Homo-oligomer: A and B are copies of this chain.
Amino acid sequence: MFSKEEKESVYKVIYKRRDIRSFLSVPISKDIIHRILNAAHHAPSVGFMQPWNFIIISSEKIKEKLAWAADKERRALAIHYDGERETRFLGLKVEGIKEAPITICVTCDPARGGSHVLGRNSIPETDILSTACAIQNMWLAACAEGLALGWVSFYKKNDIRDILDIPLHIDPIALLSIGYTDEYPEKPILELANWEKRHPLEQLIYENKWGENKHQGD
């Protein structure tokens, strides 16, 4: 069903995708935005509940409020670090909401699909897992479109609900800033900043039971 070249393109986008926090002010065409949202909408969801909504934020006024909420949370978190770790934390650029032409708030509605969503009765959090799959689809599609995307996870959910008029039972899962960039690193920026390293894959794989891996320690 997939040629060698098509398969390689899929792996290419998976490996090239990065979390970006610096954006150019170049606008994004409506067609591209529609395509990446349609990619998100074709993610798997438990019981086909499709619990997501997408709020496209382009208003400068609202972007400023979102950036304020993210910065407030960043400053609050900095208080929990001390010494060298605090300095390094405050040196990290954690979002680019004001620079990016748009930020998309992806939400999850736990009530979508009614009271008996197939599969969600066993594992309730499958609704937010489905929403994360939609985000990953959107991210890969954006990357293939030549766009950069940054997942902002520094905020208090009720700040975001207040700013975007989101009902209290709806979960604002993520703020995704999207735009073109001229700073696209080969490796994750937290790896380049020596904040964390990528674990060797072999150490994460077990066979048939937790903790068993015949290739480990060879």
Contacts and interface: CB of A to CB of B under 8 A. Distances in A.
Nearest to A57: B208
B113 A196 contact: yes
Q: How big is chain A's contact interface, by range?
A: 35 or more
A11 B38 CA distance: 10
A5 B155 CA distance: 38
A93 interface: no
Contacts of A170: 210
A9 interface: yes
A207 interface: yes
A42 B15 contact: yes
Given A53-B205, A209-B165, A141 B11 contact: yes
16 contacts: A5-B9, A6-B12, A10-B140, A14-B42, A14-B137, A14-B141, A37-B201, A44-B136, A46-B151, A48-B190, A52-B204, A55-B208, A80-B121, A81-B116, A92-B118, A129-B135
B10 A13 contact: yes
